[in-house]
């Protein structure tokens, strides 16, 4: 069993991005810019946005956070997005999820210019991903693929199971795997026998937010297990996989924390630098 160390890889990527940003600044007078819209006071969202800010600072990327009250209207957020779309110094725009119930998430995501959609959630970019075309890809699934590549794990021909069918993780993850030549099953809340799917999988990727969903009896010997889930149990952060019992059966597995999480932020930085180069160089 080998741990897939996302923290170590994310540090390597940040180092490369820092050098790239320094080159962009010296040769083109370009400093990539990222704007975040944060609505309300959700503790997890605030913590995640703070981590994004810190990562931007480490690599030399300009960032700004628009903090908005939980009572804000749809039109007010749309007006802010319009302003960001027109700002030539902002290369990436993201809306931190979740949003309060009065806000239509989909219309906000669609309002972001596709060239600045560094989260990869715009229907244009999602459509191109499904078709196997170049696009901005959601950061968590992209981070998983980078992690697999770093450890020279080729998914071509593997039987892969993605547990979770969200637009943010499950669906784009399945598309990336399919584009890379894997045979993909997508399981979700209505799947009748999850174990029947996972037990035959060479690669299991899970991200639903349910501790201990995947147990040792659901994984075959030598499988690769990617745990995207992040759950707080007492004072501990755990994933969706029962790590202590599952890990001994695997060939590779991600820890939580320190696996996929750091890769998500690294891919956001990378997407923002890519957007800046495409728009301004």
11 in active site: no
Structure tokens given for 145: 């693929």
Structure tokens at 272: 């923002």
Both tokens of 191, joined, read 């799947």
CB within 8 A of 176, min separation 6: which ones?
Answer: 129, 137, 141, 142, 144, 145
Instruction: Burial-class residue 3 by CB neighbours within 10 Å (0-12, 13-18, 19+).
Output: middle
27 is catalytic: no
Triad 152, 157, 159: Cα angle to 5°: 100
Contacts of 154 (CB under 8 A, 6+ apart): none
Closest CA to 252 of 143, 138, 137, 150: 150
Which residue among 91, 116, 117, 119 is the active-site one? 119
Angle at 72 between CA 265 and CA 95, to 5 degrees: 20
Is 270 catalytic? The answer is: no
- From the list 96, 185, 202, 227, the catalytic residue is 96
Q: What does the alpha-carbon distance between residue 239 and residue 213 come to, in Å, rounded to a whole number?
A: 9
Give CA–CA dist 152/157, Å, rounded: 14
- Reduce the DSSP state of residue 102 to 3 states and report it: coil
Contacts of 123 (CB under 8 A, 6+ apart): 110
29 burial class (0-12, 13-18, 19+ CB within 10 angstroms)? exposed
What is the rounded CA–CA span in Å between residue 147 and residue 191? Answer: 28
Catalytic positions, written as ranges: 52, 96, 119
């Amino acid at each position: 069993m080998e741990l897939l160390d996302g923290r170590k890889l994310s540090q390597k990527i940040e180092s490369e991005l820092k050098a790239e940003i320094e080159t962009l600044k010296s040769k083109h007078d370009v400093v990539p810019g990222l704007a975040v819209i944060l609505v309300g006071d959700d503790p997890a969202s605030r913590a995640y946005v703070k981590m994004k800010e810190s990562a931007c600072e480490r690599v030399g990327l300009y960032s700004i956070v628009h903090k908005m009250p939980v009572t804000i209207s749809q039109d007010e957020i749309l007006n802010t997005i319009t302003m960001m779309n027109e700002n030539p110094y902002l290369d990436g725009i993201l809306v931190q999820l979740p949003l309060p119930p009065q806000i239509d998430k989909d219309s906000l995501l669609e309002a972001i210019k596709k060239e600045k959609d560094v989260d990869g959630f715009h229907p244009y970019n999602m459509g191109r991903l499904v078709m196997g075309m170049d696009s901005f890809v959601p950061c968590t699934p992209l981070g998983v693929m980078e992690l697999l590549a770093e450890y020279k794990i080729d998914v071509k021909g593997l039987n892969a199971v993605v547990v979770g069918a969200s637009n943010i993780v499950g669906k784009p993850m399945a598309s990336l795997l399919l584009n890379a030549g894997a045979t993909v099953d997508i399981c979700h809340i209505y799947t009748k026998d999850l174990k029947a799917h996972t037990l035959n999988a060479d690669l299991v990727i899970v991200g639903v937010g349910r501790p201990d969903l995947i147990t040792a009896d659901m994984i075959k010997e030598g499988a690769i297990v990617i745990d995207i889930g992040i759950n707080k149990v007492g004072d501990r952060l755990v994933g969706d996989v029962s790590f202590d019992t599952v890990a001994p059966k695997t060939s590779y597995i991600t820890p939580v924390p320190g696996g996929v999480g750091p890769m998500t932020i690294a891919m956001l930085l990378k997407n923002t630098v890519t957007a800046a180069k495409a728009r301004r160089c």
